Amino acid sequence: MGNLTVAFLEDQYQILDILSDNEKKVELVKNKLTGQFAVKKHLPLNYLPILEKIKQISSQYLPKIEVICQTDTDLIVYEEFIHGTDLAKELTSVGPFPESRVLKVMTMLTAALGELHDQGIIHRDIKPSNIMISADGILKLIDFDASRKYQAQKERDTINLGTIGYAAPEQFGFAQTDMRSDVYSCGIVMWEMLTGQSLIDSEAANTPLKKIAFKAAAFDPAQRYQTITQLQMALAEQTTRPPVRQPKTPPAKATTIAEAEPNRLWYQHIPGFRTMKPWKIIPASLFYAVVIFYISGCIVEIFTKGPIGIITLLDFVILLLPFYIILTNIGHVWQKFPLLKSSNLLLKITGIFLYALLTFILFGIWAMFTK
């Protein structure tokens, strides 16, 4: 939008207070024509696709985005101002909630996330201070600054965002976040509402609601509820009320990453070409060119020198192939091997080292019998 449009919009709102003065600058403003309060934010341009998706969602549990104004340098966003208090302040003032209150809050929170997840949007920053309770008792999930669209073909996030203590382990670079990352944060928030503590103790998970929170916040994503709907259903079993959202299909086994990948061209399944990023494609192309050149030489040697060429080719394949499989995670093999499938970065690195060492040992044994 041009400067005239920006100037026109800013003329419609009166700045009342500065709520945050960081790089995203959040201000409380008032519409001069309607008298309605709003929150004005300055956000990076790359937030536009997510914000446009959220703007289209009509939900009583999400603040309404009123205007998105794109400038040459950033986005100016006006969204609904929530009259109420955030859950963090409520927890500080009253301590642990009764179970009936926890169920009510979690029912609304999972409903809000259900609306986002239906659009493929992951919130990624669920915490008490981002959960507002309006004056009429309705939950509003705010602050989409860390949100992103889920992309099945990605192995990890480009940018790691979230709040330590509430963000899932995969949000810190171990893997790509997906809807189960929001399930994890829900489990932490639920546990805090039940106990007053955000640190989960497995021995203290001694009530049905605590067991639900404990499962939701499992370190391994595969051990959590696989969708927000499954978490809703578990909560609904603890009350006489039906779940807020019925599953669109009967619950099924967790879908693997490979099963979730959309149809892609054949070469987009090859390591180095899966993300279609030039900085990966160029070195990968050089690597594959060297491999093809060497194998071609081995084939020529087979025709000229016989068995010696075959042994040379086998040496090359036996040494290269295991390293190639392990380092590129082709076919998502990391999900199948101990240590490699761990979400703990140290264990994953240890696994790569041990499997590489095993490869060297096996190659040494092979060399003893062929030389």
Give tens-digit pLDDT for 183-211.
999 999 999 999 998 888 888 889 999 99
Q: Tell me the range of 19-23, 224-228, 239-243, 339-343 where mean pLDDT is highest.
A: 224-228
Say what the pLDDT of residue 371 is.
Answer: 60
Neighbour-count burial of 62, counting CB atoms closer than 10 A to its CB (0-12 exposed, 13-18 middle, 19+ buried): buried
Element (H or E) spanning 99, and its range? Answer: helix 99-118
- Sequence-distant (6+) residues with CB within 8 A of 139 are 61, 105, 108, 109, 112, 131, 132, 133
- What Rg value do the Cα atoms of the chain yield, rounded? 26
pLDDT at 75 > cutoff 70: yes
Question: The pTM is what?
Answer: 0.59
Domain count across the chain: 3
Could you list the residue range(s) of the whole structural domain that residue 18 is in? 3-80
Same domain, 91 and 15: no
Q: Determine which of 143-147, 262-266, 336-340, 363-367 has the lowest per-residue pLDDT on average.
A: 262-266
pLDDT at 333 > cutoff 80: no
Domain final residue, candidates 260, 285, 313: 260
Same domain, 94 and 193: yes
Mean pLDDT, all residues of the chain: 79
Same domain, 73 and 200: no
Q: Percent of the chain scored above 70 by pLDDT?
A: 75
- Bigger pLDDT: 279 or 106? 106
Same domain, 249 and 352: no
Question: CA-CA distance, 277 to 284, in Å (whole number)?
Answer: 11
pLDDT at 359 > cutoff 80: no
CATH of the domain at 234: 1.10.510.10
DSSP string, 117-164: HHTTEE-----GGGEEEETTS-EEE---TT-EE--TT-SS-SS----T
